Amino acid sequence: MSHKTELLKKIENKKAVCAVIGLGYVGLPLAVELANAGFSVRGVDVDSEKAGMIGKGESYIPDVSDEDLQKAVKSGRLTAGGDYSVIIECDTVNICVPTPLRKTRDPDISYIVEALEEIKKYVHPGMLIVLESTSYPGTTEEIVVSELTGSKLQVGKDIFVAFSPERVDPGNPVYHTGNIPKIVGGVTSECTDVAAALYGHVVEKIHAVSSTRVAEMIKLLENTFRSVNIGLVNEIALMCNQMGINVWEVIEGAATKPFGFMPFFPGPGLGGHCIPIDPFYLSWKARSVGFEARFIELAGQVNSYMPLHVVGKAMDALNAAGKSVSGSKVMILGVAYKKNIDDTRESPALDIISKLNVKGAEIVFADPYVDELAVEGIDSSIEKVELNKATLSEADLVVIIADHDAFDYELVLKHAPLILDTRNALKGAGGDRVWSI
């Protein structure tokens, strides 16, 4: 019996043991889905605190309920720890580690390389390895395959390697790991078959493509599409600001067209682990083959400027009220990178807070999802306050960055003396006291 046939049989009978490397926003939901589908899952993460919480059935990811996690753990199908040696008993490995940018905006794939260095100690014939971490086209073949085939294992015969990009949208109440179509591209067609078979047990729809490079490019296109269109609408917002036009009304009107227009919305800047980062993976790869990705770079420049624009609007609002930003108390509403989540990675709030702090403002924040906030360049953590009449009244300016549904915007309108709304959360209400971007 071939390794492919044997592995497919294990997957079909749910006898395959699955490892998930990296138990963050991507890895934990996948591990829970696999476990609750009937597979035995070994979660691996260098953060021992995560493993401890999983063992207690306490989820640290908003998209994974305690109930679903406890179901997986209590069944005995999901365990977690920091020891990679569990891979020796596994048939499949999903790599879900971070892929940030360096300060030079070059791809940082060190987490992938570190994971592979551990995985290759235990790789064996009849194993599937899938990379889910976003990276540039060619990563799977150039990095994953080269690391794992040093033991003379033949890809497509002895081991099976594929790329299947994560499509997680934290906080989305409609789409989750199970109902988002899954892109799968293998190094060989045999690799694609095996990976598709595994995901077929936890995802409603599989879309197989011809190669890992195509799959890698699909992920980058998806987020570059958003980045470029957000960059466009941010530039329109800057233009409308100069012309005295309400950009939100413009977008609302344009969105009534039933074809040829898709509404995107301006904001204080991009955040999260994907949209601010992935386009630069693509432009970096493009430069390596002598192609200049001008749209991508320009969108990045516009989007990166938005926090500075917000600080400028904050200064304008305070000046109009006869106050200087230096010495003024500024309350930031929402420090997550988007509404209804706790993720502050790359949040524009961090840059805005930093710039306001440099100008002498006293900063506090309110966010029902975030308990502590550290900002680079500021020695102490930013004070968290409750959103109430007293804290609103004490602030010279309230800046809405993440428009969480949990915020009482009527309370904000009633008691905040001055508001800068970067998300149109107040829908233009409040008269002269409410400023927009």
Q: Which residue numbers are catalytic?
A: 274
Q: Would you put residue 260 in left (φ > 0), alpha (ψ -120 to 50) or beta?
A: left
- The most distant pair of C-alpha atoms in the chain lies apart, rounded to whole Å, by 81
N- to C-terminal Cα distance for the chain?
64
Q: Would you put residue 334 in left (φ > 0), alpha (ψ -120 to 50) or beta?
A: left
- Which residues face 127 on adjacent strands? 159
Provide the H-helix boundaries in 59-158: 66-74, 110-119, 139, 146-148
Task: Give the closest residue to 131 by CA, choosing from 168, 87, 186.
Answer: 186
Q: In this structure, which amino acid lies at residue 306?
A: M
Backbone angles phi, psi at 207, to 5 degrees: -120, 105
- Answer for the pair 363, 357: CB distance below 8 angstroms, yes or no: yes
- What is the DSSP code string of 196-254? HHHHTTT-S-EEEES-HHHHHHHHHHHHHHHHHHHHHHHHHHHHHHHHT--HHHHHHHH
Q: What is the DSSP letter of 269?
A: -
Extract the tokens encoding 342: 């706790």
Query: What is the C-alpha to C-alpha distance for residues 28 and 77, in angstroms, rounded to an integer?
Result: 13
